[in-house]
Amino acid sequence: MNDRAKATATRPSTTTAQLISHLLRPDDFPATGATIVGVVRARRGSDQLVAALRRLTPEKVFNNVFEVWFDAVGSADRRTAKVIGDASLLARF
């Protein structure tokens, strides 16, 4: 168990999106950023993941895991997020 009082936020990655998707269920949406942080904490998400999710806009409503991940990534990763999002849409066909 991590005894540090405050975890350091790490830059979210594709792996982070997978972790988020394991902790959040479809019936958790729609949800605000503050609610999402609370759900992930209650489901014993890692301190680093919770710290990364604290970057979410607390009052913004999210409809799925991709929106959560996209809002949590740094601005330098937005192009990657868009490409992954486009690929996700194409995979539906």
Question: What is the model's pLDDT at position 70?
Answer: 82
pLDDT tens-place string over residues 69-85: 888 865 445 555 555 45
For residue 32, tell me if it sits in a domain.
yes
For residue 1, tell me if it sits in a domain.
no
* Count of residues in the chain: 93
62 forms beta bridges with 31
Residue 81's domain comprises 14-91
> Strand, helix or coil at 48?
helix
pLDDT tens-place string over residues 1-34: 444 445 555 555 556 778 888 899 999 999 999 9
What does the alpha-carbon distance between residue 66 and residue 57 come to, in Å, rounded to a whole number? Answer: 15
**Cα Rg of the chain (Å, integer):** 13
For residue 8, tell me if it sits in a domain.
no
Question: What is the model's pLDDT at position 44?
Answer: 94
Here the tokens at position 77 are 């990763």
pTM: 0.65
For residue 6, tell me if it sits in a domain.
no
What is the domain count for the chain?
1
Here the tokens at position 17 are 């999106």
> Strand, helix or coil at 42?
helix
